[in-house]
Every structure is written in C-alpha cells, then in structure tokens.
Structure 1
Amino acid sequence: MTTANANQNFDGVVVARTPLQMALRRFRRNKVGVISFWVLVVMYLSAIFAPFLAPYSITTQHEEYPYVKPSGIHVVHQGQWRGPFIYGSKTERDPVTFKKLSVVDRENPIPLQFFARGEDYRFLGVFRSNLHLFGVDPEKGYYFPLGTDKFGRDLLSRMLVGGQVSLTVGVVGILISFTIGIVLGGISGYFGGFIDGLIQRVIEVLLSFPRLPILLALSTIIPAKWPSTWVYLGIVAVLAFIGWAALARVIRGQVISARSIDYVQAARGLGAADMRIILRHIMPNLSSFLIVTATLSLPGYILGESGLSFLGLGIKEPMASWGLLLNDARTDDAFKTYPWLLLPGLMIVISVLAFNFMGDALRDAADTQSR
C-alpha cells in the first residue's frame, strides 16, 4: 500500500484512506480554494440572515438623504471616548446650483446600537421580528454604512437582500438545468439509436444560438406585469433552459463509456429497470464530475441574471439583485460622483472569482492521479 492513500496511526497500524478523505485532503492543500470556500460561506450566510443584518427595508426611502456617502464608525469625539457612534447627516444647498447636498454633521454624534429594534421583517418568510444587528435611534438620525441611492435607500440593506436573488438564482438554475441535462443526457447515451439522434439534434440547435441574444429574446417573453416572485422564477427558467444542453452532451459521452462496465451489464442481466440503472448505477460514478461542473457553472448563472437585470430585462422593483443595483451606476455622472454605487458590481466579481477558484480546487481534488 502506497503512502498516497494510507497513513499510520499512533499504534503503527496502517490505516487506509477512503477516496473522499483523499479528495478532502487534496482540497485543503489548495489555500486559494479553501479561502474561496469560506468567502462563499460568508456570502450565503449573509444572504440567509439579510433581514437581520440589514438596518432598513429595501423599500424604505429617506427622501432627505439622497446619495449620502458611506458613513464610518467612530469612538472618539472632540478628544473624548464616546464608544461606537456615527456622525449624522444634514442637507445643505449648493450656493451655485442650489442643488440639495448631504453633508456630515460633525456636531451631531449618534450612538450606534447593537441588536436594535427597527423595521419589521419576516425571517425566511415565516418568523416575524424587528430585531436588527445594529442601528441608531431614528429620532436622532440614520446610519448608512455604504451610502444611499438617488431615493435615499440604504445601499447595504439592498445589497444584502439583493444577494438572496443573485446567489440563489444560480443554485436553483443548476438544480433545474442539471436535472434536465442528466436525464436527457443519460437517456441519450444509454439507449442510443433514434432517441440518441433526436436528443442530439435538439442539443445542436440550442448550442447553435449565441447565448446572449437567445437570453435576451427569452427574457422578453416574461410579461412586465408579473409579480416580482414570478419574474424571479421566469429568469431562473430562462437561464436553465439554455444551460442544460452542453451538460447533456458531456453526460451522454460519460454514459456511453460507463454502460459497458461489468456491474452495469450485471444489473441489466438481473432485469433492473433502465432508469434505475442510469440513476443508481451510472450517475453516482459521475458525482465528482457533476459537483465540479456545477461549481464552475454557477458563475454563469450569476452573470446571466446580473446582465439581464442591468439591462432592465431581469429582476424588477421592488425586488433587488446585484445587477439591478448596478444599473444605478451606469451613467457617467453616477460613475464619477457616486462611486459607492459600484459596490454591487464588486460583489459580483468576488462571487464569480470565488466560485471559479473553488471549482478549480475541487477539480484538482477530484483528480485521482494527483499526488
């Protein structure tokens, strides 16, 4: 037994590692992949607990505070220790343009409260609460950690809730597209013949269309009067509809090579149902490939939703997504004057890079030839 798949315990007994343990060991050695994994864990936890972490509702407008700059946390005021606090904002008019401007009020320190009571929300859509991680007394002022948009809506709150859409659209889309791709690809590779030819011709037609034009064309089918939840489901369906074809082709090739294995032939000889052989005997051997492919495919769904929402064809108000929030920064004036509106774009970049790095690490970990 080689040292690549065995180790000695304290008693000198050689203990064999399972393939899963060996893969986890290889994954842990990839520092970038591990860091990316924890970055994604933090992002998904932030999306799950978004109503608790967000100080305000995504629809709450503070009309007196449009385009407020991000506010910092201070602990010393005029040379004295005050604990965590923020400086309030006040509105002034530009002496030349007479445009309303929001400026920092250095004479108005506002204590920062943790586990503060604020606006009501439903956690996971079930539990009703008004407890937030932090906040300030609304009678004294407001706290906008990442600034506000043109309507005075808190950008941090909208980014946290928008992450629920941008991060889950990929997961739901993967579940749908992989289900279609695995079933059709498995049937095509297992049965062959006329069924194989028919499915492959459909796949070729789908793959012949450029991704972006067909994505835009399908998104216009979604009625503008649909509720926000229906629009979300429609976007997921559109992304899944064009995402299963490439996977089905790869699955077909894997199934063709796997259907001649001895235990598959034995299952057929015992009279096992064809679909049971595909799902219970062939697909489990492709699990590592499917996990890696799903991880590397998720960024495409995030970018697809963000692109549609940025162009105004995806998620609509009052819902929020990172692509929809980035739409506010597409003008030259907003890009130069209000750079904090680009922060949703930074979240897209971080999530896409994290998925790609983690996918590369998983691919290396699943490589049984690596040492």
Structure 2
Amino acid sequence: MGNIALACGVPLEPLLREAKAARARRRERNRAEEEDLDDVKRRTLLGGAVVGAATAAEPWGRLAYALSKGSKIDPESAGVLIDHAARLHVDELSEGARSLQARVESHLDAITAALPRAGTHERALTIAAGETAALAGWVAWDLGEHDKAAAYYGVTSECAKKAGHPPLRALALGYASYGAPNPAKALEMLSQAAQDVRGRGNATAAAWALGRYAEEAAQSGNDAGALRALEQAKFAYDFADHTSEQAWVRFVTPYRMDSLTLSVYGELKRQELTATADSAVKRLGGELPDSGVVVLGDLASALLRGGDVDRGAYVAHQFAAAAESKPNTMGRQRAQAIAAGLPDTEHDLASHLLTFVSS
C-alpha cells in the first residue's frame, strides 16, 4: 500500500483508513466491490487526500499489479491516470503552487511508469503526461524555479510531437510566454500557439493564445497588432465552452476574458477602457472567480487608469485579500502596478502591496 501511495501521489494514511472501511463493507455484503468496474469508475474520487470510501485504492491497486506483472495497462487504470491529470489542472485554480507541486510531480512519475506498458492507451497517456508536465512547469515557474520550468515545457513539447497533438505544444508555449526573455520571443511563442489550436474543440485555447498575444503586443507598442489579436480572441471565445474543452483552459472564464481585454485597453490607453471596466464590474458582481487574483488585479488597474479612483481602490483591497490567500507570480506582478496607481489616501494599501511584491 505504501508503494502505491508513493508512486501515485496519494497520501498513505487516508488510503489505509479508507481501505479498512471498504474491506468491512465488502464483508458485510459478501461480494467484492471490484466485480462492478463501472461502479468503481463512477464513485472513485481523486484529488489527494479524498478517496471514495467504497472504492478506496482499487484503481491504484490494479495499476500497481499491472506494472509488477509487466502486463498492459487496463482501460480502467489508464482512465484513472488521465482523469487525475485533468483534475490537477482544475485544482490549480484554487490551490497554491507550493502545496500542488508534490502532487503534480508524483502523478507525472506515475504516468511515466505506466507509459512503457500503455499499449493501445499510449497516445492518450502521452497527452496526459504532457499536460501534467506543463502544469509542473507552470508551478515551478510560479515558485521561481525557472530552469526547471523550461525543462518541463520542453518535455511537454516532446509529448506533443510524439502524440501528434499540436494543442499540447500550445499549452507549453502559452505558459512559457509569461517567462519569455523579451516581448519579441513571447509574441513568437504565442503566434505558434495560436496556430496549434486551430480547429474544432480548441476555441477556448485559441481565445487564450490570441488574448495573450494581444496583451504582449500592447506591451511592446504594437497597437494595431494588439487590437487585431484581441478581436480575434473575442471572436474565438464566442464559439468556446471553457467547461467542456481541455481541462487546462478551465481558467479562461468570461471574467478572464474581461481581464485580458482590460489589460490590453489599459496598456493602449483606449477610450473603451472605462465602459469595459464597468461591464466587468457588473459581470463580476459579488462572485470571486477561480482566477480571481488576475481578474481583480487587471480590473483594479483598469479602474485606476481610467480615473475611477474610488472603485479602483475598493477593488484593489479585494485584490490584496485574494493575492494573500493564493500568492503567485502573476499576482505579484499586478500588485506593483496597482500600488503605483493608488491615490495618496491609500498609502497603507500601497505599502502592503509593495511588501507583498517583495515577499
């Protein structure tokens, strides 16, 4: 049981507790739970410490058995690995990089161990491995481990090539663009990423790649290119469903698209900034989206740049609270810009944000 927990990134103590409970229930009903694999698949919950009580550890047990016997991975075990890779991308929306890193890297080890015996599941597992490696790179970059991040992104691109799956390379390029050495390199990456996500089922990814291109183009002074890419991003998003496409685009909510638009308009000092900020405030309402740190940061910056100081300061306070609850590099980048735009009456908040930047 300890080897299974270690290989697959699941804490041992909950597994032992839940396994004991599962055995007791199996004795009571005089039949093995594994007779009904569909039921196992339906009721198994993955996500770290939480494992479905009636099915504790069975998928991992089957995987460990398959590996020890040198046999091919069965469909259920492959499905568990693939689904958990997707789940980690969803968890990243609300979990900090520090706590997520070990789980992501452990799961990448598990998929890596399974790949030599993947059989007919090789392509799907290769894609899942690439998605997990990309997330490992993103987490590493967020923690300041830039060389490590670059290595993970390189592995992701290799997985994309091996599987013949260009959107996977787009994921690596999109993440890597945030740490590009210069704007020209970021634009090159994002241009290729946009090419890689053409076609059905990739509308959300296309909107993200094009929106990021617009953001980088605006920061490099290419006004026309930024506005053109932003319109293309909005058009792509009209056909998107971020909840049903790749798990790694789950963060590209309508709020995040507002955020990208505000970032571009703010950088270009466009007159549309105020109206767009008003619309974003209404859409946000009292809800904090999963990507709240970035969204609130761009919204606060837009309101302050547009001259709406009172609302800008109010949102800046919300941003500060969100950034503290989930510290990350993108939040720190926005904190510095917000601090510079706050009025003198918000000196304490500005000082707090600058302290956060340097933490």
Q: Which has the larger radius of gyration?
A: 1
More helix by share: 2
Asked which structure has the greater RCO (Cα within 8 Å, sep 6+), the reply is 1
Which bracket does the TM-score occupy, shorter chain normalised?
Answer: under 0.3
> Which TM-score applies when normalising by structure 2?
0.23
